[in-house]
Amino acid sequence: MIAPHESTVGPKVPVREDATAAERKLRLLQRAGLFGDDTKGATIRRACTVEELRQAYRLVHDVFLETGFLRPQPSGLRLRIFETTSETATFIAEKDGDVVGVISVVGDSRDLGLPSDPPFRPELAARRTAGLRLCELTNQAVAEGYRKSAVPTELMRCAVAHALQAGYHEAIATVSPSHRGFYELLGFHSLGSERSYSDKLHDPVVALRLNFDELRAPAPELTGAARFIRDFATERNRYLAQVADWAKRARRQFLNAFLLEQLFVHERNFVAECTPEELEILRRRWGEEMFQVVTGITDLADLGPPADRPSPAGPAPVGAEPAPAGPLARLLPFQKLRRRLIGLAAAGVIAAWECPPPARIVGPARSTWSERGDA
């Protein structure tokens, strides 16, 4: 049983002292550069191209690594199963060709759920049982030189605009306890108590929620910080008129063999790390033909449990590199995949592209679920 929705339109102000504290906090953040217009020259938009996405997930990796939220990845990219779908909306701040800020919105789904399901499954299950359509704000990372600027709050406005237009009822955010005050100023309320986000790293977080139905409802009588925050997210949100067009363009560009191969095979051999269950999710979401082009896998049923897969070549010679295990054993060598894409481009099936240098698919199969939902 869930208590009736609390108002999340700005901070709770049952007494004047709370309102005064919120206004004081807002003024401090504005003096620091947030909630303004100065992005230090950075442009805010949705990431659509392979280079924009690559830079975005590299920044997330580097920032999370710096703060101890993530173990280093050989590729330098923070990729999870959630980043493989066109439904995940990633927004960036870009300056002179460099991505300096990131935020992603992941929509809830039956096959993937949300990034915060492992630590907060009971709380999220309760919201779903109440019939709420959820999304999660994740991959929140800003380069150090842009943290005291409008970049963090403009990215948040993009995420809110996307969620409002997409029809979500609530956004979930798992954040460090020290960041809780900032999110409460934005209108978030508590959802889950402090616990570790990962069972591998000590990463204490709390879960918060933002009710979008309150933002869609007619504006109540608000003053001070509460009025400013509501207007900032709704009436004065410049991104509300742009996110729908961004979404169409992003989906067209994402479901492209070149982008998927570059990001999930060539840049990092992510596909080879997927479990058979995760590969089935990719097949459904990318489509059968696109899945075969990118992975070279024609029949997932042939994969079977790793322990049941005999080596086709018999025992390996002493000192030889061990044969890949799991789904990796069924992937086409990269050179063959490369020739296949060239042929499809020549036939006009996919857009022509400049082929990257040959590479070799290596690495053990493992689950692609990763630590840390956001900053």
Q: Is the pLDDT of residue 334 over 70?
A: no
Q: How confident is the model at residue 17 (pLDDT cuts 50, 70, 90)?
A: low
Q: Is the pLDDT of residue 60 over 80?
A: yes
Same domain (yes/no): 197, 236: yes
Tokens linked to 226: 């509460």
Q: Shortest CA distance to 185 belongs to which of 151, 226, 238, 140?
A: 226
Report the alpha-carbon distance of residue 212 to residue 196 in Å, rounded.
Answer: 27
Per the domain annotation, does 99 fall within a domain?
yes
Predicted local distance difference test score (pLDDT) of residue 316: 35
Q: What is the CATH number of the domain that holds 239?
A: 3.40.630.30
**Do 175 and 51 share a domain, yes or no?**
yes
Confidence tier at 351 by pLDDT (50, 70, 90):
low
Residue 375, in any domain of the structure:
no
Q: What is the pLDDT of residue 348?
A: 55
Write down which residue in 188, 221, 245 finishes a domain.
Answer: 245
Question: Residue 131, SS3?
Answer: coil
Q: Does residue 81 contact residue 71 with C-beta atoms inside 8 Å?
A: no
Q: Residue 329: exposed, middle, or buried by beta-carbon count in 10 A (0-12, 13-18, 19+)?
A: middle
pLDDT-based confidence at residue 10 (cuts at 50, 70, 90): very low
Instruction: Tell me whether residue 361 is in a domain.
Output: no
Tokens of 33: 């550069």
pLDDT tens digits, residue range 180-198? 999 999 999 999 999 988 8
Hey, which of 76-90, 199-213, 216-230 has the most confident mean pLDDT? 76-90
Average pLDDT, the chain: 81
Half-sphere exposure of 99 toward its Cβ, with a 13 Å CA cutoff? 28
> Tell me: the pLDDT tens digits for 123-154?
999 999 999 999 999 999 999 999 999 999 99
Per-residue pLDDT tens over the stretch 149-180: 999 999 999 999 999 999 999 999 999 999 99
* CA angle (212 as vertex; 225, 13 as ends), nearest 5: 30
The mean pLDDT of 214-226, rounded to a whole number, is: 90
Examine the domain organization and report whether 72 and 144 are in the same domain.
yes
User: Residue 317 falls within a domain, yes or no?
Assistant: no
In three-state form (DSSP H/G/I as H, E/B as E, the rest C), the secondary structure along 5-40 is: CCCCCCCCCCCHHHHHHHHHHHHHHHHHCCCCCCCC
Does the pLDDT at position 1 exceed 60?
no
pLDDT for position 311: 33
The C-alpha atoms of residue 273 and residue 294 are separated, in whole angstroms, by: 14
Structural domains in the chain (count): 2
One DSSP character per residue, 257-271 reads: HHHHHIIIIISS--G
Please, what is the end-to-end C-alpha distance for the chain in angstroms? 30
- The reported pLDDT for the residue numbered 346 is 47
Residue 66 falls within a domain, yes or no? yes
203 and 128 co-located in one domain: yes
User: pLDDT at residue 26 above 70?
Assistant: yes
Domain boundary residue among 198, 215, 245? 245
Do 286 and 190 have their domain in common? no
* Domain shared by 127 and 260, yes or no: no
Question: 136: domain range?
Answer: 16-245
Question: Residue 55 corresponds to which tokens in the numbers above?
Answer: 């830079």
How would DSSP label each residue in 32-79? HTTTSS--TTPEEEE--SHHHHHHHHHHHHHHHHHHTSS---TTS---
- 363, part of any domain: no
Whether pLDDT at 370 is above 80: no
Q: Quick one: pLDDT at residue 345? A: 55
Pair (86, 109) in one structural domain: yes
User: Do residue 292 and residue 201 come from a single domain?
Assistant: no
**Within 13 Å, how many C-alpha atoms sit on residue 265's CB side?**
29
pLDDT at 48 over 80: yes
**What confidence tens digit (pLDDT) does each residue in 229-255 have?**
999 999 999 999 999 999 999 999 999
N residues, the chain: 375
Same domain, 130 and 224: yes
Is residue 178, in this structure, part of any structural domain at all? yes
* CA distances (Å), origin 361, targets 114, 304, 307, 364, 365: 29, 20, 21, 10, 11
Predicted confidence (pLDDT) at residue 107 exceeds the cutoff of 70: yes
Confidence at residue 301, expressed as pLDDT on a 0 to 100 scale: 74
Q: Quick one: average pLDDT of 364-372?
A: 38
Q: Are strands 170-175 and 134-142 parallel, antiparallel or unpaired?
A: parallel
**Residue 201 pLDDT exceeds 80:** no
Q: Give per-residue pLDDT as tens, 283-322.
A: 999 999 999 999 888 888 766 543 443 333 333 333 333 3
Whether the CB-CB separation of 289 and 255 falls below 8 Å is answered with no
Task: Assess whether 287 and 339 both reside in one domain.
Answer: yes
Task: For residue 115, tell me if it sits in a domain.
Answer: yes
pLDDT tier at 332, thresholds 50, 70, 90: very low
Q: What's the pLDDT band for 331 if we cut at 50, 70, 90? A: very low
Stretch (H or E) spanning 99: strand 98-107
Tell me, yes or no, whether 238 and 305 share the same domain.
no
pLDDT at res. 299: 82
Question: Does one domain contain both 259 and 160?
Answer: no
Q: Which of 199, 225, 245 is the last residue of a domain?
A: 245
